[in-house]
Amino acid sequence: ALDRLAQFFIAPLFNADCVDRELKAVDSEYKGNLQSDSRRIYQLVARTSNPAHPFSWFPTGNTGTLKGAAEELGLDLREELITFYHKYYSADIMRLVVVGNHSLDMLSEWVTSKFSDVKSKGNTKPMFNFHPIGKAELGKVIHYKTVREKYELKLQFSLPELKSTYGEKPFAYINALLGHKEPGSIYSVLRKNGWATAISAYSSGMYYDGFGTYDISVAATPEGLENYEAIVSIIFGYINMLVESGPQEWYYQELALVSKAEFDFKEKEDAETYARTLSSRGHNQYVPPHQILSHNHLSSGYDADLISKCLSYLNPGNYRLFIGAQEHKAAECKLEEKYYGVLYHIADLPSHMTSDVKCSPSVAKMLHLPSRNAYLPKSLSVTKPVTPVEKPAMEPVLLRKNDKFEVWFKQDDQFFTPHGHIGLTISSEYVNNSPLNHLLSTLLCKIVSSELQEQLFGALRANSNFYLTLREGSINVDVSGFSSGLPILLKTILQKIKTFKVDTQQFSIYRDEIERMVQSQRLDNPISLIYRQLDAVNMVPAFDLDMLEKVLKDITLDGLQKHIELLFSKAYVKMLVSGNYNQSVALKASNQVLDILQLQPVSRSSINARRILAIEPGYYVQNVPISDQKCLNSAVICTFYCGSVYDTRDKVALQVLKYLVHRAYFAQLRTSEQLAYKVGAILDSYKEGRDMLLFALEGESNPIYVTQRINEFLRQYRQKLQELTADEFESSIQSLISLKQEKLKSIDDEFSRLWTHIKSDKYKFDALDKDVEHLKRLSKDDLLAFWDKYVNEDTAKGYTRLDLQMWSTKIWQPTPKEFEVYPGTVIALYGSLRSEGHTGLSIADVQSFVSSADASSSIELLLAELSALYVSKQTPSVPNETAEALDTTVVNVEAPGIVFESSSKVATALQMAISSVNESPKFATLGKTNFANIDMKQLPEGIWLINDYKRFQHTQALHGISVSSRKLVPLIAE
């Protein structure tokens, strides 16, 4: 692997076909992000910077800026790539990090032998001695239109390069103060006024060479946007207060203490991420090699003068202001950014916003420094097991279980750091049993989290984290960080939830945010939309966007307050305490939970758990139009329902199959055919039901054409499985075993694994060991048998498949009648013709041509015949009366000839259509239900077209709820 990586830099091939393929991938990625607000504002920031500086350039690239620009200049793109490589790729500007479990001597030997041939050409990095945000760019206000309904403010300041300050970390101090959320903060004042829901402050000074920027971003409310000048004045009011108060060493030392503790007890992380992070940090030329690992955490000392100097850059004469919203009253956005089409308006900031900006005296009194942090770790000691352990325990201990509460505990016996992780899941009859209650639960989590951000921000400063979310039909509370403070943190959160009284202003703000959230989800990328639809079809209850939008009007303050009271009247709570604790601490924490929530006994059957459809054998498809009229991409997911989630043998066979098929699927549909940038074979499952093998793709191609190409891939892949060598099969098995036996890296990793098993209701803590046992016994014949049982359309007696297709409005989509009449291969061919601009044939013409074509003819001859048909249809007869009126004898208009390339999608689609002419409707007899009785249509292949998935759900049985794999006996009888 190292040798391959090294050769990328020593002797890259730059094969012409690879250049073309990657060009399409770059263009596909670019088009997939055209509706991304984050990409759009990034490019607008660049566009409005100094055009002479590379910071202002378009960093993503597309076909026009690469191939198109090269052609305009009379250049060969591949040759330009090679020239670029020879000019800039120098060992002097590269940083290599290799992370491995081999000895340092071995790693060093490998690096020396593999990478020594990377050429040194000196420092080839271009340097610019001017700032991209200079006087000409500062003092501007830029209004821009967003895709989603949101309200954004960004103050961007111009800074010098700050890499040399890595040790003193002045901006870590400034970031913490400007972004904190405790009383007296910018956030606190804005929130009380109902003007903002979030704020962030960060410096980019460590990333850029020769310059830096500092951004203060505010997620505003509509009222906040109208009062943007007041928001800016509050921000500068707080900065002025910091300047007047002077640097506070005690606050700096609090931050340094926490950061040092993080480093001293840093747990392992993903090796790839760690290597990438260190490699990036290595580009700071001021950091000596011995500090590469630590410099991001450890401070070299407090420097008040440096902090004051850095604060001086944050002044009203040294910033520009970005204001984002879908619509603007204060400006008419007529300018258009070149690459993403962002509409914007740029003007000078008024003079009162560029000099001596002050907030009102009453607001100034509200702004003050945070108090000393009461959440700093009280103890960093480590609690070790009473008796030494030879091997870490794989299971937690069930401390207590009754008809309202179960508590699990896992003491850290392998990492020995002062960290902890506590999770709660609150399942209630009222959490998620209707679209309205789903939104009310979501709203509760948002409002309470907002208040807790202000109340508990000191805990966040002390490296604790908390999350309050609605997930999997339950309310989840999660706290993690240094262990000593987590029990009190959890207590505070639960007290807030249980006794929460809804504030009218905050209700209004977050109710509106929920409405914007629901409506803006229609603008998600197609692959996200299609996964949401997959859940909606498979789960009961599950609520699609139409259902949620219908009940938005029913969200009221009184309704939310009653919802809070009802939540705990019928609730069952699970709890896991893990990490640096002993059993008595875990029991004490659980007693706190019981005291606060005052749970009543409840029957688990009374809690409306999500149920999963037991879809009967058959092939089903649902077509869904994409609401976003500007979205270029469509998406497809083909889902194969395989073995039961309880069947370990089938599960591991599926895992091996996915491991093998993903690479081939990616290579064929993305690399070879270039159908999309986002391509993947994925495993998925719910708590109950059947494991699923999914083939997903998002791109500009017609979804029917994509589905046909997936079908063709699957037909051919069985032969590839058959041809798999013993060594290849065994290598795949060993790779999966290695992944399953990989050591946990942290207390958080262990918590996640255990918590997954607890929330599943199966409690299969030994699942990985069982998987390995079955993997060792798995044979290639088992894999082929699995394929034939579940995936092979010709042999699977219980073949169960669901295709979801998301259609962009930018491409032709068949009518329901056309779906019903014409085979998918004909629709794919017709769609391919239209996508290449050939609209002169009707779909009936295409069907007639395919039906009468000679299947034994070569593809070249068939394409020529199709071209002749196309030309004949483009030779319209001019009516005689028209000819007479024109005083001409010309009655026919000759159309120019057209040539279909044998490598085009049209050629591929034609081959598929011709080869399937005589196929019988093989899927017609799979199931027993006649879905025509609920107005579903059966397509020519025997596929059922779902037009109302809710009606379809009512025809299907449901899988039973999860059953524990063991008898649960608590340690403490109650």
Please determine, for residue 20, whether its predicted confidence score (pLDDT) is greater than 70: yes
Please determine, for residue 739, whether its predicted confidence score (pLDDT) is greater than 90: yes
Please list, in sequence order, all residues whose beta carbon lies within 8 angstroms of the beta carbon of residue 737, skipping any fewer than 6 positions away.
772, 775, 776
Please list, in sequence order, all residues whose beta carbon lies within 8 angstroms of the beta carbon of residue 768, skipping any fewer than 6 positions away.
740, 741
pLDDT tens digit sequence for 510-551: 999 999 999 999 999 999 999 999 999 999 989 999 999 999
Mean pLDDT, rounded, for 175-185: 95
Predicted pLDDT at 207: 77
pTM of the model: 0.91
Pairing type for strands 397-401 and 405-411 reads antiparallel
The 539-540 sheet, strands edge to edge: 539-540, 611-614, 957-958
Predicted pLDDT at 875: 57
3-state SS, residue 76? coil
Contact of 593 with 405, CB cutoff 8 Å: yes
Q: 622: which 2 tokens?
A: 């649902």
Mean pLDDT, rounded, for 139-153: 97
Mean pLDDT, rounded, for 545-573: 94
Mean pLDDT, rounded, for 158-185: 95
3-state SS, residue 37? helix
Predicted pLDDT at 918: 78
Predicted pLDDT at 885: 41
Contact of 600 with 926, CB cutoff 8 Å: no
User: Residue 901's pLDDT band (boundaries 50, 70, 90)?
Assistant: confident
* Lowest-pLDDT choice from 46-50, 58-62, 705-709, 917-921: 917-921
pLDDT tens digit sequence for 376-392: 998 899 988 888 888 99
Mean pLDDT, rounded, for 22-39: 92
Contact of 217 with 265, CB cutoff 8 Å: no
The H-or-E segment that residue 362 falls in is helix 361-366
Helices marked H in 402-525: 435-455, 457-461, 486-498, 504-520
Predicted pLDDT at 937: 94
* Lowest-pLDDT choice from 105-114, 140-149, 174-183, 876-885: 876-885
Please determine, for residue 605, whether its predicted confidence score (pLDDT) is greater than 90: no
pLDDT tens digit sequence for 796-826: 999 999 999 999 999 999 999 999 999 999 9
Predicted pLDDT at 881: 45
pLDDT tens digit sequence for 364-374: 999 999 999 99
Mean pLDDT, rounded, for 893-899: 55
Mean pLDDT, rounded, for 50-65: 94
User: Residue 876's pLDDT band (boundaries 50, 70, 90)?
Assistant: low
**850, 180, 201: which is closest to 457 by C-alpha?**
180
Please list, in sequence order, all residues whose beta carbon lies within 8 angstroms of the beta carbon of residue 243, skipping any fewer than 6 positions away.
308, 311, 312
Bond preceding residue 541 cis, omega within 30 of 0: yes
Please determine, for residue 877, whether its predicted confidence score (pLDDT) is greater than 70: no
Please list, in sequence order, all residues whose beta carbon lies within 8 angstroms of the beta carbon of residue 382, skipping any fewer than 6 positions away.
412, 416, 417, 418, 580
Q: Virtual CA dihedral for 857, 858, 863, 865, nearest 10 degrees? A: -30
Alpha carbon of residue 656 to chain centroid: 25
Quote the CA–CA distance of 334 and 124 in Å, as a whole number. 40
Mean pLDDT, rounded, for 661-676: 92
Output 499-506 pairs: Cβ under 8 A, ≥24 positions apart: 500/444, 500/447, 500/448, 500/564, 501/561, 502/447, 502/557, 502/560, 502/561, 502/564, 503/447, 504/557, 505/194, 506/194, 506/447, 506/450, 506/451
Quote the CA–CA distance of 490 and 480 in Å, as a whole number. 10
Contact of 409 with 755, CB cutoff 8 Å: no
Pairing type for strands 539-540 and 474-482 reads unpaired
Quote the CA–CA distance of 718 and 723 in Å, as a whole number. 9
User: Residue 896's pLDDT band (boundaries 50, 70, 90)?
Assistant: low
Average pLDDT of the chain is 92
pLDDT tens digit sequence for 474-505: 999 999 999 999 999 999 999 999 999 999 99
- Residue of 610 and 117 predicted with greater confidence: 117
pLDDT tens digit sequence for 154-170: 999 999 999 999 999 99
Predicted pLDDT at 882: 41
Alpha carbon of residue 823 to chain centroid: 35
User: What does the DSSP 8-state code read for residue 945?
Assistant: E
Mean pLDDT, rounded, for 290-304: 93
The H-or-E segment that residue 347 falls in is strand 343-348
Mean pLDDT, rounded, for 853-876: 87
Residue 875: CB atoms within 10 A of its CB come to 11
Alpha carbon of residue 577 to chain centroid: 28
Please determine, for residue 190, whether its predicted confidence score (pLDDT) is greater than 70: yes
3-state SS, residue 911? helix
**121, 97, 95: which is closest to 108 by C-alpha?**
97
Main-chain dihedrals φ then ψ at residue 466, nearest 5 degrees:
-140, 145
Please determine, for residue 886, whether its predicted confidence score (pLDDT) is greater than 60: no
Predicted pLDDT at 609: 72
